[in-house]
Amino acid sequence: MTAKYIRIAAAAGALAVAVGALTACNDSSTASAPIGTEPVTTTTMPGSDSSKSLKSSSASAEASKQAEAGASKATVSVPETKPNASTTPPDNFPGSKPPPPGVTLSAKDKAYLTDLKKQNVAFMGDDDNNVALTMGHYVCESKKQNADPIVVKAYVRAAIGPMTKTDAEATAKADKVINAAEKNLC
């Protein structure tokens, strides 16, 4: 019988320790996030000015109303932009001009550029043919140095890519640049 009371006392003691530990963890000073759809309430700290928070709250509400009003007036389509016909580019703008004074194109350079033009190959923003000539000479130098043709093609393809709409078109135009360079420049 005594053993029975000792077991009951031990179980009651363990239960009391567990309850004590759980109540010690439930301290009201810890913050917790709301769970579910319960409304969130806030309190002000001692020494804070609640009138400032009310003013900022009303200013925030006013700003939200203004933003909503502006958004309702916004258009869905993008406005049309057209170039001004009376605007002329500056004299130093590199648009479709002959090479600068002092720079002469060799017969090979001219043949290479003519070949690219016949094949409808152009580089983005290359109004003075500087990029096209650079790519052509790069192909020839790479060939002299026995560079990996895959790397050369990748480099030329990256340069021609922005002017194309598909990967296949970029690859085809890169092949045309390489062939034109090998035929006319190298």
For 107-146, write each residue's pLDDT tens digit.
Answer: 898 898 899 889 888 888 887 888 888 899 999 999 999 9
pTM score > 0.95 for this model? Answer: no
Residues 21 and 12: their CA atoms lie apart, in Å, by 14
Whether 96 shows a pLDDT value over 70: the answer reads no
Average pLDDT, the chain: 75
Whether 10 shows a pLDDT value over 80: the answer reads no
Residues 111 and 14: their CA atoms lie apart, in Å, by 97
Residues 135 and 121: their CA atoms lie apart, in Å, by 12
Whether 105 shows a pLDDT value over 80: the answer reads yes
Whether 70 shows a pLDDT value over 60: the answer reads yes
Residues with Cβ within 8 Å of residue 184, at least 6 apart in sequence:
108, 111, 112, 115, 136
Neighbour tally for 97: CB within 10 Å: 12
- Contact present, 131 and 123 (Cβ < 8 Å): yes
**Tens digit of each residue's pLDDT (9 = 90 or more) over 43-69:** 666 655 554 544 556 667 777 777 777
pLDDT: which is higher, 32 or 170:
170
